[in-house]
Amino acid sequence: MRNLLSLFDLSTAEMESIFSIAADLKAKLAKGVREPLLQGQVMGLLFEKQSLRTRVSFETGMAQLGGSSLFLGEDVGWGKREAPQDFGRVISQYLDFIVCRAKSHERVIELETHCTCSIINGLTDLFHPCQALADLMTVQEEFGKLKGMKIAYVGDGNNVSRSLALACAKMGAEFAIASPKGYELDQPFLVRVDQACPDAVVQQTNDPFEAVDGAVAVYTDVWASMGQEAEQAKREIDFADYQVNKKLMDAAAKDAIFLHCLPAKRGQEVTDEVMDCKTSRIVEQAGNRMHAQKGVLVWLSQQKG
């Protein structure tokens, strides 16, 4: 049995397998073919945070694969009504997969410790692996390859940029991130990336124009994520020079695509002009959440036994 708590859990070859499965299932779905590869299997969505894309894409993807899903909100009492080991050992008897969207990464690690079914990180404060898989799937569809391609991220060194940096490192893509001072990727994470992927190219800068130079994809996220609402006013000041607008996009490679994990605050981290431009791939990127996650579910099912 395998789990996906972060992309550190996957080798490059395993990521390539997931991409291959996802692309195959996406092509078949476009032709109206829905293979019941997970017929009779059940997925639980254990969520501490609100969600649109993660919940709907996982539920829909599981249904298309012939399985079913259960949304598990606060009413199940995770971490409140009974000991973690009792909760995990009981709930994993019922389920084949648990997708966990938690406020802290430690909560998902603790859940994994006590469960006997596959655990998938649907978002924590440290990592968002399913988002990064969808991101690179989108870039690969657009350009036909990932190796040697440069992807630039403008914004906070958060769970999204951390996962994207690691995904690029695993797949041989260059990654550049531009953040204000104090918001960069943390050094322990960068050391871990270097240990896992010695040939990785990860560039950190405080200059967004330096980061996007030569990039085929420019990516951003909200300046204050869920749980950081109290920092919103300060972050608006600190990130004021990090908006993705036409001037910044023009500094990237010709016809560079724009990516955003959504939801976006239009007029803050990105302008309407960029969100809706002809090279914006935010809709396709969101759609690939479902396809990439179907790839993860099928791949994990193949690792059992």
134 alpha carbon, distance to own chain's centre: 7
Catalytic residue among 53, 107, 128, 162: 128
> For residues 273 and 247, is the Cβ–Cβ distance under 8 A?
no
CA-wise closest residue to 168 among 188, 124, 138, 206:
138
| 129 in a known ligand binding site | yes
Known catalytic residue: 261? yes
In angstroms, rounded to a whole number, what is the distance separating the alpha carbons of residues 219 and 247?
Answer: 15
Known catalytic residue: 221? yes
Known catalytic residue: 131? yes
In angstroms, rounded to a whole number, what is the distance separating the alpha carbons of residues 166 and 146?
Answer: 13
Catalytic residue among 235, 289, 291, 293: 289
| 38 in a known ligand binding site | no
| 261 in a known ligand binding site | yes
Catalytic residue among 261, 268, 281, 291: 261
- On the CB side of 93, CA atoms within 13 Å amount to 5
Catalytic residue among 96, 100, 117, 131: 131
Catalytic residue among 96, 117, 221, 293: 221
| 281 in a known ligand binding site | no
| 130 in a known ligand binding site | yes
Query: How does DSSP assign 179-207, residue by residue?
Result: --TT-SPPHHHHHHHHHH-TT--EEEES-
Amino acid, res. 145: K
Catalytic residue among 53, 64, 100, 101: 101
Known catalytic residue: 128? yes
| 101 in a known ligand binding site | yes
Provide the annotated binding site for L-ornithine. 159, 221, 225-226
Catalytic residues: 101, 128, 131, 221, 261, 289
Provide the annotated binding site for carbamoyl phosphate. 101, 128-131, 261-262, 289
Provide the annotated binding site. 101, 128-131, 159, 221, 225-226, 261-262, 289
